[in-house]
Amino acid sequence: MITKEKGLTGFNLKYLALIFMVLDHIHYFFEFTGKVPICFSWIGRLAAPLFLFCFVEGFIHTHDRKKYFLKIYLISVIMGAIQFGFYNVLSPAVRGDGFFPKNGMLSSFAILFVVMQGIEWIRQKKFVKGLAALIIPLILPFIMAYCVFVPFVNSKNQAGLFAANLISLSVLPLHTAIVDGGTVTVLEGIILLLFSYCKNKKIRIYAWAIFSLLLNVAGLALMGVGLSAKTLFFEAYEWMSVFSIIFMLYYNGKRGEGNAKLFYWFYPVHVYALYGLSFIVYLVMQ
């Protein structure tokens, strides 16, 4: 039984997030069967915030940020290149209903890492590189849009568009183009980091929860979506991620014991394994 005195370590939170993520992805990949209950995805809303919380904690406490960044970045580049491949050379592997994995949470984390390092440099009064690391990743999608994509489209430069799309999905990810995480994850990560400087460490958790709820409400308002029970529970249920606060508040500030490598490789391996299985199931059902 979990108690406040003992609490949850960082590894405890990661293992919980891993379980929630698998449930979410089972629904994500097999929703087409009509056999997977939506509650799998409700529970899955808890995964990303817990991983994000642990990621920010890892950034704060790691002794080797370069190594930490490279592990995440290299896997994100590979997954981004595979995603790009589904639009091109891997198109025969696209499921019959047009579905293929667009999981890019590690790309979101890579972008967030650079932004957080920028904030740290600014706190150390290294303003030039700090501001560059903070601002450039946030405005890069707009620079790429107006300085690269629009000119290539207008000139009908197909080779240029091909290269630009590959780069923006792999080595230079754009937060606005990431379906899994993206801009929201980057903003929420910034909130967690900024409020981690407070003496009371739980303030960051409450700040994140309030910010997350406001983002969800604002998003629904901008889309002109009414707040009906059907909408909140069956269409736009991202707000349920706020319940991850329950586990965050039990965090005891300790790393704990576990297999760190598991979390780096489990993400891509289980994504493509589940997709491959869903591909086969889809063929069987036709």
Give the chain's mean pLDDT. 93
Can you spell out the DSSP letters for 101-163? ----HHHHHHHHHHHHHHHHHHHTT-HHHHHHHHHHHHHHHHHHIIIIIHHHHHTT-HHHHHH
pLDDT surpassing 80 at residue 198: yes
User: Looking at residue 260, what is its pLDDT?
Assistant: 83
Per the model's pLDDT, the better-predicted residue between 149 and 2 turns out to be: 149
Range 185-208 average pLDDT = 96
Residues 163-186: what's their mean pLDDT?
A: 94
CA pair distance 34, 106, nearest whole angstrom: 29
Each domain of the chain, given as residue ranges in start order, spans 10-285
Greatest Cα-to-Cα distance within the chain, rounded to the nearest angstrom:
64
Given a contact cutoff of 8 angstroms between Cβ atoms, the answer to whether 155 and 81 are in contact is no
Q: What is the DSSP letter of 89?
A: T
Is 70 exceeded by the pLDDT of residue 46? yes
What is each CA distance from 215 to 44, 159, 219, in whole angstroms?
19, 37, 6
| CB-facing half-sphere around the CA of 184: CA atoms within 13 A | 21
pLDDT in the model for residue 234 = 85
Contacts of 240 (CB under 8 A, 6+ apart): 42, 45, 46
15-34 per-position pLDDT tens digit: 999 999 999 999 999 999 99
Residue 4 pLDDT greater than 50, yes or no: no
235/162: higher pLDDT = 162
> What residue has token string 């207008």?
154
pLDDT-above-70 percentage for the chain = 98
Q: What mean pLDDT do residues 141-146 have?
A: 96
The model's pLDDT over 65-89, given as tens digits with 9 standing for 90+, comes to 999 999 999 999 999 999 999 998 8
Task: Tell me what the mean pLDDT of segment 175-181 comes to.
Answer: 92
Q: Taking the CA atoms of 174, 188, 223 and 34 in sequence, report the sign of the dihedral they define.
A: positive
Task: Identify any residues that bridge with 251 across adjacent strands, giving them in sequence order.
Answer: 8
Q: Are 83 and 169 in contact (CB under 8 A)?
A: yes
Predicted pLDDT of residue 216: 86
